[in-house]
Amino acid sequence: MLRIALGQMEVIPGRPDINFHTMLSMIVSARDQQANIIIFPEMAIPGYFLGDTWEQPAFLRDCEMYGQRIVEESVDICIIFGNIGIDWNKKNDDGRFRKYNACFIAHNRKLLGDDNFPYPFRIKTLQPNYREFDDNRHFYSLPKLADELNKQVDDLLQPIRLTIANRRFRLGCLICEDSWSDDYAIDPAAILLKNGPIDLFINISSSPFTLGKNNKRNRVFAHNTKQYGVPLVYVNNVGLQNNGKTIYTFDGFSTVYNRMGNIIEYCPPFDPLLTCITLDFSADDSTQAIKAVPDDHGIDTIYHVLHYGIRHFLNSIQMKKVVIGVSGGIDSAVTAALYVTILGPENVLLVNMPSIYNSQTTKDLASQLAKNLGCLYAIIPIQEAVTFTIAQINQAPISNQKTGDAFHLSVSPFIAENIQARDRSSRVLAGIAAAFGGGFTCNANKSELTVGYSTLYGDQAGFLAAIADLWKHQVYEIATYINQSIYQKEVIPHETITLVPSAELSFDQSVDEGKGDPLIYPYHDFLFRAFVEHWHRATPEDILSWYMEEVLEEKLGCQTGLVNRIFKTPQEFVDDLERWWKLYTGMAVAKRIQAPPVLAVSRRAYGFDHREAQNTLYYTTRYHTLKKQLFKGAEANV
């Protein structure tokens, strides 16, 4: 019998002082519940996403000191926790102090180790360096340590021996990625087993939420657990961590798998809750009740992640009020409805900023939204200021200081569109947000951000881009979900959902005439997803070859028959493809460099998980060949 407490704590990144106290109170609670072991997440003391804070020795010393104080608490309870492990006498490859992503096992005020290992802690074997992870930047992995010591990984990966209630246990300690070994040459769990026997695997993680990841984890971990015939306790933290450009929620969802690979306990996601479970090693644990875990890839999950992420981000920057520019369109309506659930209607100020191009339809919808939400509302027209700006630019004499000549510039209609967008955000919203005592939101979605269909310092501005990891079709889905399931009434006006999406920056974008964005979301959402989210990222070469093989819709996952309905000719198809590819790899990159932080939902949010350079437009050689073939074929068919 082993009573295990899952310390699914909220880890505050960069705050070892707070995390230490959170751990203390969970330890007290675990003792109260007669736990023999309490397990905390990976990097429970420092937090995980800290940028380069790891390069501050003073910070490292503090984490080490708090870790030592946790060890002091391990009387009558075994405490397992993640922290930075430091060897002040060795160097990392960058010449800075040697740091490990480590798991500490403390019992009776001592750290448990084994003779084969040079440190009184275990270290991470597999370090992720894809997506938003940069483990190798700061942490020295076990395989590197093995090389340095002229040992084998197999020598260093040993079970930890632990005596609890007069019974001896052998623990197999894994840190996060160690259990995701499919693509690695090393399988830490298999090695531990070989060096076993192992009574219990633990995996301490700091694993950000990604849509669908828990389903995958449960498949992978259940499969492995069953294969190894050893139970596994997975402990992950909750909370919010960021690496500047991208903000991640952590859902915890700590889970216990029995040796049959069944889930016998889990902590509710996003809840900083201590959960205890008793594992009976003597009995056939297949008798223990199996728990069904909630699915995690539906629209309800997305809503929850957005809600949790926004709430925690606002807390972390101590922002209590926001201003939201509302156009009557879907993106600002969803954003407004979300913020109201978090801050209350009295702390959300919606501002409608019409120009001569805004229809009565959308103005009414904006006003209706404010009414439905019961929040603060203001109308601040921008036409006067925009007209003034255009006139000021058109009329200002530009003098050549060499020749003495003077001339005038001229504001084109396209330039005037961007002047409107910047007027709204940088002139009105930024000013009014400061006067209101808060920030203003960025309401951009992922489709727009992909091709830069937004104005820098205009609608792309804001302190947080909360829905910028949702494709446009997901924004619609969440609008319906918010009405039906959250407010359970129509707060987002029905017409906002059915209206043609439009920026309304010129009469060419009149919603009353059914005109709107150049993006055909049912197709472009999926095209862009192939550029951005496919694990092997698609380029025009792939898209064109799929188009020519007539498997494009299948490959993109969009509606069948759509492509030929949208594009009458191959030329139209190619023009469209090249238009967006050029923007995605060009101007949109420049805009994303200056974009607000994005709240991550998908497996590839913009920012730190989508590294990019501002390079020139490129088409592969085979793309050019395919294009020639296509047009030759088209000609031949005529």
Q: How many CB atoms lie within 10 A of CB 367?
A: 17
Size of the site for its own copies (CB under 8 A): 131
Stretch that binds its own copies, among 10-18, 29-37, 299-307, 514-522 (CB under 8 A): 10-18
Stretch that binds its own copies, among 107-115, 188-196, 225-233, 368-376 (CB under 8 A): 368-376
Q: Cβ closer to its own copies: 244 or 294?
A: 244
Q: Which residue number, 277 or 548, has a Cβ lying nearer to its own copies?
A: 548
Q: Which residues lie below 8 Å from residue 284, measured CB to CB, with a gap of 6+?
A: none
* Nearest CB to its own copies, comparing residues 114 and 384: 384
Angle between helices 330-343 and 360-373 (to 10 degrees): 20
**Cβ closer to its own copies: 215 or 367?**
367
Listed as own residue / partner, the contacts of 381-386 with beta carbons closer than 8 Å and 24 or more positions apart are 381/353, 381/354, 381/355, 382/353, 382/354, 382/355, 382/420, 382/423, 382/424, 382/427, 382/428, 383/354, 383/355, 383/356, 385/423, 385/427, 386/355, 386/416, 386/419, 386/420, 386/423
Return the number of the residue (236 or 545) whose C-beta is nearest its own copies. Answer: 545
* 167 SS3 class: strand
Q: Using the rule CB under 8 A, is 244 a contact of its own copies?
A: yes
Sole window of 101-109, 137-145, 231-239, 554-562 interacting with its own copies (rule: CB under 8 A) = 137-145
Task: Tally Cβ neighbours within 10 Å of residue 206.
Answer: 24
Taking the least distance from each CB to its own copies, the nearer of 11 and 193 is 11
Q: How far apart are CA 567 and CA 4, in angstroms?
A: 60
Which amino acid type is present at position 146? A
> What is the separation of C-alpha 603 from the centre of its chain, rounded to a whole number of angstroms?
7
Q: Which of 32, 72, 148, 550 binds its own copies (CB under 8 A)?
A: 148
Question: Which residues from 536-575 bind its own copies, rule CB under 8 A?
Answer: 536-539, 541-542
By CB under 8 A, residue 84 contacts its own copies: no
The phi and psi torsions of 63 (rounded to 5 degrees) equal -65, -40
Which range binds its own copies by CB under 8 A, 190-198, 296-304, 365-373, 476-484? 365-373
Q: Report the residue number, 279 or 442, with the smaller CB distance to its own copies.
A: 442
Quick check: 629 binds its own copies (CB under 8 A)? no
| SS3 at position 574 | helix
Instruction: Show contacts with its own copies in window 400-459 (CB under 8 A).
Output: 400-402, 409-412, 415, 418-419, 422-423, 425-428, 430-432, 434-436, 456-458
CA 319, CA 314: separation in Å to the nearest integer? 5
Question: CB atoms < 10 A from the CB of 521, how many?
Answer: 18
Residue 355 is a binding residue for its own copies (CB under 8 A): no
Cα(305)–Cα(481) distance, integer angstroms: 14
Contact pick of 276, 623, 627, 630 for its own copies (by CB under 8 A): 623
Among 10, 73, 134, 199, interactor with its own copies by CB under 8 A = 134
Give the footprint of its own copies on residues 306-345 (CB under 8 A). 316-317, 345
- The partner residues of 240 in beta bridges, in order of sequence, read 249
Q: Cα angle vertex 489, ends 484, 493, to 5°?
A: 95
Phi, psi of 263 (to 5 degrees): -85, 120
**Integer Rg of the chain from CA:** 28
Instruction: Give the span between the Cα atoms of 67 and 69, in whole angstroms.
Output: 5
**346 touches its own copies (CB under 8 A):** yes
To its own copies, the closest distance from the beta carbon of 276 in angstroms equals 31
The yes or no reply on residue 599 touching its own copies (CB under 8 A) is no
By CB under 8 A, is residue 154 in contact with its own copies? no
Smallest gap from Cβ 92 to its own copies, in A, equals: 7
Strand partners, 249: 240
- Minimum CB–partner distance for residue 575 and its own copies (Å): 20
Chain position carrying tokens 């269909």? 453
| Separation between Cα atoms, residue 16 and residue 237, nearest integer Å | 14
Shortest approach of its own copies to residue 135 CB, angstroms?
A: 9
Nearer CB in complex with its own copies: 66/471 = 66
Cβ proximity to its own copies, 1 vs 356, nearer residue: 356
Select 267 or 370, whichever has its Cβ closest to its own copies. Answer: 370
Find the shortest distance in angstroms from Cβ 400 to its own copies.
Answer: 6
Looking at 28, 75, 114, 130, which residue binds its own copies (CB under 8 A)? Answer: 130
Contacting residue, 7, 13, 82, 309, with its own copies by CB under 8 A: 13
State which residue, 106 or 375, has the beta carbon closest to its own copies. 375
Query: Smallest distance from the beta carbon of 139 to its own copies, in angstroms?
Result: 10
- Tokens for 436, please give them: 């209101």
Residue (122 or 591) nearer to its own copies, CB:
591
- For 582-608, b where at least 16 C-beta lie within 10 A, e where not — what string? ebbbbebbebbeebbbbbbbbebbbbb
Residue 595 binds its own copies, judged by CB under 8 A: yes
Which position among 113, 118, 120, 143 is part of the footprint of its own copies (CB under 8 A)? 143
What lies within 8 Å, CB to CB, of 513 at 6+ separation is none
Q: List binders of its own copies among 458-477 (CB under 8 A).
A: 458, 461, 463
Q: Is 489 in the site for its own copies (CB under 8 A)?
A: no
Report the nearest approach of its own copies to the CB of residue 334 (Å): 18
Contacts with 575 (C-beta within 8 Å, 6 or more apart), sequence order: none
Compute CA 536 distance to the chain's CA centroid, rounded to the nearest angstrom. Answer: 19
Question: What mask, x for binding its own copies by CB under 8 A, covers residues 262 to 291?
Answer: ------------------------------
List the one residue from 289, 498, 535, 636 that touches its own copies (CB under 8 A).
535
Q: Which of 120, 154, 155, 186 binds its own copies (CB under 8 A)?
A: 186
> Distance between CA 503 and CA 459 in Å, rounded?
10
Query: Which among 92-100, 215-223, 251-259, 571-579 is the span making contact with its own copies, rule CB under 8 A?
Result: 92-100
> Interface with its own copies includes 57 (CB under 8 A)?
yes
Which 32-51 residues touch its own copies, going by CB under 8 A? 47, 49-51
What are the E-state strand segments in 158-259? 160-164, 167-175, 200-205, 232-236, 238-242, 246-251, 255-257
As measured in angstroms, the least distance from the Cβ of 367 to its own copies is: 9
Q: Is 487 in the site for its own copies (CB under 8 A)?
A: no
Phi/psi for 300 (5° steps) reads -65, -40
Residue 26 burial (10 A CB sphere; 0-12, 13-18, 19+): buried
Q: Is 124 among the residues that bind its own copies (CB under 8 A)?
A: no
Rounded CA gap, 89 and 99, in Å?
A: 11
